[in-house]
Structure 1
Amino acid sequence: MLIPLNDLSDPRVRDFTQLKDVNLRKSFEAERGLYLAESFSVIARALAAGHQPRSVLTNRHWLGRLQETLGSRAGDIPIFVAEEEQLTRLTGFSMHRGAIAAMERPALPELDEVLSEARAVLILEDLVDHTNVGAAIRSAAAMGFDAILTSPHCADPLYRRAVRVSMGTVFSLPWTQISAWPDTSALKNRGFIVAGLALSEQAISLPEFCACLQSQVERGKQPKVALVLGTEGPGMTKQALASCDQLVKIPLSHGVDSLNVAAAGAVACYAVSQALGTFTQDN
């Protein structure tokens, strides 16, 4: 349903204007709030995951591609069409990825559901940078991890920038918030080895940790790993460190003392999934 946007104060587009991301999570106009999906690939992933769009914003140049992305839904969803300059004024940023959709937030699944068939889980503890959250989720998906857990104070994985940086993989992996964090008993009761990435004297090297995992696999066991990434800068909290079964560090060279949290996550996720034998390459 095409709607030319002539008035930027039109109340029908306030999902894109009056509501910031923090307010979208609590919008009273949707049962569980909203989130913004930016770019055709992200919108397509959201639709494939069964998420419901409320409306979409684009310009006439991208209209054909947007309609192709929406498919049979294009006639039912309000599509607001505006000039590029209007879109920038409306959203407050340059919308060069073609389109942005206001999507209804799905209900977060229960922890049991997320962990039921998982062998490799990534836990994000108190990450505050949405770019790092999105990058960590994308890496976990690419490296064959099964699920994501976030601490109560972690940045929102459905924040617009996090969704964009994850390239929509946040819709591909089951994820939920672990409200009892840093209590890891629910994970340990399900057989998970909780391993925290930390620059600690008690930490063993990532290759050593993965060799232990691989040895278990070779003996016919199927170990499960919950890998924890701490916040940017300080790293994991003392309480989280104490709740881990094992602390792990990545060997570095050239005088580099640490990696960006998302980069460290990518390295560790790949190594762990290789050791578990869960990594499969799509192409």
Structure 2
Amino acid sequence: MAELHHLDDPADPRLADYRDLRDVELRKHLEAEHGLFLAEGEKVVRRAVEAGFTLRSLLMAPRWLDGLADVLAMTDAPCYVLSEALAEEVTGFHVHRGALASLERRPLSSVESVLADARSVLVLEDIVDHTNVGAIFRSGAALGFDAVLLSPRCADPLYRRSIKVGMGAVFTLPWTRLPDWYDAMPALSSAGFTTVALTLAGDSTPIESAVARVGRLALVLGSEGHGLSPRWEQSADRRATISMRAGIDSLNVAAASAVACYIAAQR
């Protein structure tokens, strides 16, 4: 069972994993260096533990101890108990969900292992907003996709904001990063997937027809600003678009992913 440590000093070195959570660049460096990630909120913390991730520690306000009693009972990790005001001083924001957990990252899986049993996968190119990445994972998991592949420059799916928006979908949906950006589309085609790029290219067809009668599908989504790179757009097997009202030519990539995943799931 977790040992409770009631702390009253925001400078306590045991709280290092939880400092300055609003500083994105600092957090990316710290989390990569120490091989950790943070989960926020009772549901997300529980889902991370249920998925088998190893707890380093927990931080929570007293009123959340009962709600996470089952998690505390199954770990030997320390639990740091702070007032909500003190937790805000340490983290840099109001921890209104009451609980944070620091967990150990796992080594990235190989692309081959992630794709081995997958029939439908999402492939993300240079999507740099953590909120969008989390929302895409959530849509993919909810609508029956089996895995996610990310280009090297995509935002971290295990960043706290991504996990929170995705409601922990990253814990159960297999994912990894593509080591070879340039030939990613041909490689997926060679692996038996039909790559369908969501794009406004002139030869795009409605997504309903683009994914019809496709066996193994790789649905490809591009960055928030410029969409897909010319390389990925042209080397995909098919190009598809979501039909929409005149005068509106695009959706936010997270919204587009939800629509496209739903249509693909109907195939």
- Give the match's secondary structure for 1:167: coil
**TM-score, scaled to structure 1:** 0.89
- Match of residue 27 from structure 1: 33
- Give the match's secondary structure for 2:14: helix
Question: Aligned pair in 2 of structure 1 residues 70, 271: CA closer, same or farther (>3 Å)?
Answer: farther
For 2:98 and 2:71, locate their aligned partners in 1 and report how far apart those are by CA, in whole Å. 11
What amino acid sits opposite 1:177 in the alignment?
Answer: R
Equivalences for 1:215-234 in 2 at 5 Å? 223-234=215-226
What amino acid sits opposite 1:180 in the alignment?
Answer: D
Equivalences for 1:95-174 in 2 at 5 Å? 95-174=95-174
RMSD between superposed Cα atoms in Å:
1.3
- Match of residue 238 from structure 1: 230
For 2:198 and 2:32, locate their aligned partners in 1 and report how far apart those are by CA, in whole Å. 33
1:68 shift after superposition: 2.5
1:18 shift after superposition: 6.1
- Match of residue 61 from structure 2: 59
- Give the match's secondary structure for 1:54: strand
- Match of residue 191 from structure 2: 190
Q: Deviations over 1:2-44 (max 9, x none)?
A: 001111111111011168421233234xxxx111111111111
- Match of residue 199 from structure 1: 200
- Match of residue 12 from structure 2: 10
Paired residues, number:
260
For 1:273 and 1:208, locate their aligned partners in 2 and report how far apart those are by CA, in whole Å. 13
Matched, 1:267 2:234: no
Aligned residues of 1:21 and 1:35 also touching (Cα < 8 A): no
Deviation >6 Å, runs of 4+:
none
1:212 shift after superposition: 4.1
- Match of residue 86 from structure 2: 86
Aligned residues of 2:186 and 2:236 also touching (Cα < 8 A): no
For 2:182 and 2:245, locate their aligned partners in 1 and report how far apart those are by CA, in whole Å. 31
Aligned residues of 2:49 and 2:71 also touching (Cα < 8 A): no
Aligned residues of 2:60 and 2:98 also touching (Cα < 8 A): yes
Instruction: Tell me which of 33, 38, 41 is aligned to 2:43.
Output: 41
- Give the match's secondary structure for 1:68: helix
Q: Deviations over 1:99-151 (max 9, x none)?
A: 00111101111111000000100011101110000000000000000000000
What amino acid sits opposite 2:186 in the alignment?
Answer: S
**TM-score, scaled to structure 2:** 0.94
Structure 2's unaligned 5+ residue stretches are none
- Give the match's secondary structure for 2:211: helix
- Give the match's secondary structure for 2:18: coil
Equivalences for 1:60-79 in 2 at 5 Å? 60-73=62-75, 76-79=76-79
